[in-house]
Amino acid sequence: MNEPSKVIVFQLNEEQYGVDIQQVLSIEKLTEITKVPKTSDFIKGIINIRGEITPIIDLKDRLQIGETEYTNDTRVLIVQLKDIQVGLIVDTASDVIDISDASIDPPPKVIGGVSDNFIIGVAKLTERLLILLDLEHVLNLDEMNEIKSVTDEA
């Protein structure tokens, strides 16, 4: 029997999403972002996280489901995508939960406005559904190269 997966739960608009805890290095409060000119709209700039220059992406903007309105609850998930540390802006990050493989269904083609190539599956929890994102596919190769160039120039 498989061990349950630990998942960090966060919110974008009214939907709850989850990512494998092993992909998340830390959860930070949003600090002032230094803008970087001539980058894609979803790349909001860079911040310094414990001495490491980290590109910041508005996850809502990247998934084409709006743009994040910054509040005291806004958080940045610091994640490792391949060989780059990236910050993902989310509305809130609220919980760490265990999810069994048996509670995960394959994703529909489009869910909550998000294309299925970003989604691992949908977890059926007691009182809600949780969309599980595949962070490895949130950015395509060109976007990864653009983000690498942002950190190289910083």
User: Domain range for residue 99?
Assistant: 5-153
Could you give the CA distance from residue 125 to residue 105 in angstroms, rounded to a whole number? 11
Query: How confident is the model over 121-146, as a mean pLDDT?
Result: 86
pLDDT at 126 over 90: no
Alpha helices per DSSP H over 40-139: 59-62
Residue 1: Cβ-neighbour burial (10 angstroms; 0-12, 13-18, 19+): exposed
Strands 52-58 and 84-90: parallel
> The domain that contains 91 carries what CATH number?
2.40.50.180
The 10s digit of each residue's pLDDT in 60-94 is: 998 888 888 899 999 999 998 888 899 999 999 98
Distance separating alpha carbons of residues 101 and 10, to the nearest angstrom: 19
How confident is the model at residue 98, as a pLDDT?
A: 93
pLDDT band at 138 (very low <50, low <70, confident <90, very high): confident
CA distance 46 to 72: 19
User: Among 130, 101, 119, which Cα is nearest to 63's?
Assistant: 119
The domain total for the chain is 1
The string of pLDDT tens digits covering residues 23-61 is 999 999 999 999 999 898 999 999 999 999 999 999 999
What is residue 1's predicted lDDT score, i.e. its pLDDT? 39
Q: What is the length of the chain?
A: 154
The whole-chain average pLDDT of the chain stands at 87
Residue type, 96: V
- 0.85 exceeded by the pTM? yes
